[in-house]
Amino acid sequence: MNVVEAAGLGKRYGSTWALRECSLAVPAGHVAALVGPNGAGKSTLLNLAVGLTAPSAGSVTVLGGCPAGSPAALDRIAFVAQDTPLYKNLSAEDMLHLTRNLNWRFDRAYAQARLDELGIPLKCKAGRLSGGQQAQLALTLALARRPRLLLLDEPVAMLDPVARHDFMATVLTAAADDGVSVLLSSHVLAELERVADYLVLLSRGRVQVAGEVDDLLASHRMLTGPAAEADRDAARLRVVHARRGEAQAHLLVRATADDPLPPGWEGHPVGLEELALAYLREPSAAALPGPAHARHAQRSEVTR
| pLDDT at site 60 | 96
Contact at 8 Å (CB) between 272 and 213? yes
Question: Between the CA atoms of 93, 96, 102 and 104, what dihedral angle is there, to the nearest 10 degrees?
Answer: -130
**Parallel, antiparallel, or unpaired: how do β-strands 57-62 and 31-35 relate?**
unpaired
Mean pLDDT of 274-297: 55
Q: What is the pLDDT of residues 152-186, one digit of tens each?
A: 998 877 788 888 888 889 899 989 988 999 999 98
Judge whether 293 lies within some domain: no
Residue 74 lies in a domain: yes
Structure confidence by residue, pLDDT tens digits, 238-250: 888 888 888 889 9
Same domain, 128 and 204: yes
Q: What is the DSSP letter of 169?
A: H
Tell whether 81 is covered by a domain.
yes
Same domain, 196 and 247: no
In this structure, the answer to whether residues 10 and 144 fall within a common structural domain is yes
| Domains held by the chain: number | 2
Task: Determine if residue 279 is left, alpha or beta; phi over 0 gives left, psi from -120 to 50 gives alpha, anything else beta.
Answer: alpha
Give the domain extent around 26: 2-212
Does the structure show a pLDDT above 70 at 299? no
207 strand-pairing partners: 202
Helices (H), 179-296: 189-195, 213-218, 230-234, 272-281, 291-296
Indicate whether 74 and 195 sit together in one domain: yes
Distance from C-alpha of 25 to C-alpha of 211, rounded to nearest angstrom: 9
159 and 257 share one domain: no
Same domain, 26 and 138: yes
Q: Are residues 257 and 182 in the same domain?
A: no
Q: Is the pLDDT of residue 148 over 90?
A: yes
User: Which one-letter DSSP state was computed for residue 225?
Assistant: E
For residues 198 and 229, membership in a common domain is answered with no
pLDDT at residue number 219: 93
pLDDT of residue 98: 93
- 81 and 112 together in one domain: yes
Residue 61 shares a structural domain with residue 174: yes
Instruction: Out of 107-111, 124-128, 144-148, 233-237, pick the least confident.
Output: 233-237
Same domain, 182 and 230: no
Using one digit for the tens of pLDDT, what is the confidence trace for 70-121?
Answer: 999 999 999 998 776 789 999 999 999 999 998 888 999 999 999 999 999 9
Residues 125, 87, single domain; the answer is yes
Is the pLDDT at 275 greater than 60, yes or no? yes
Query: Is the CB of residue 46 less than 8 Å from the CB of residue 34?
Result: yes
Q: What is the mean pLDDT of residues 126-131?
A: 92
Query: How confident is the model at residue 123, as a pLDDT?
Result: 95
Amino acid residing at 143: L
